Structure formats: C-alpha cells, structure tokens
Amino acid sequence: MRKIEKRRAAYRLAKLRALQILSSHDDPLKHLRDFRMLWWETDYCREIADPANLADGVYLARCDGQNDAEIRSWVLGQLRDFVSRS
C-alpha cells in the first residue's frame, strides 16, 4: 500500500461521497455536513472547499427566500460539477 497526500485523499473521499449522494437519489441537503467535516479534518484542504461550503450557499439561499426544491436542485448541480472535474 502506498501513501498519498492528505489533500489528494480528501479529494478522492469527497468525490466518492458526492457520487454516492448522486447515485442514491438521497436528499443532498442531509449530507452537507459530510463535506464540511472532511474539510475540517483535513485542515481546510482547498481541493474540497467548494462542496465543503455548500452549507453556506444553502443558508444564503434560504435567507434569500428560495424554497428547498430550488436549493436542492442547485446543490445537485454543484455536486455534479465537482464530480465532473478531474
């Protein structure tokens, strides 16, 4: 087994988690903390900052009056964008 950098491992784990959420059709709003916790545990690894900060975007969208269906759609789009990056 070879060692990989913490930031690379964090990216792989975040990408895997995003894929799981997308393929399970589970409510993505229930999983925002998954990314935030991983981000904290990896000392704010910049490679996963986008999914880690989705909770902030959700908070702002709710303050702006968007409903959960609109927010959920936006989060799913963000997760798809994150997964599609190489």
Calpha distance 55→74 (Å, rounded): 12
Domain count within the chain: 1
3-state SS assignment for residue 52: helix
In terms of residue numbers, what domain contains 51? Answer: 6-84
* pLDDT exceeds cutoff 80 at 6: yes
Calpha distance 60→25 (Å, rounded): 24
Domain membership flag for residue 59: yes
Which pLDDT belongs to residue 2? 77
Which pLDDT belongs to residue 74? 97
Domain membership flag for residue 40: yes
Domain membership flag for residue 67: yes
- pLDDT (average), residues 10-39: 95
Domain membership flag for residue 1: no
Calpha distance 48→67 (Å, rounded): 26
pLDDT digit string (tens) for 55-80? 999 999 999 999 999 999 999 999 99
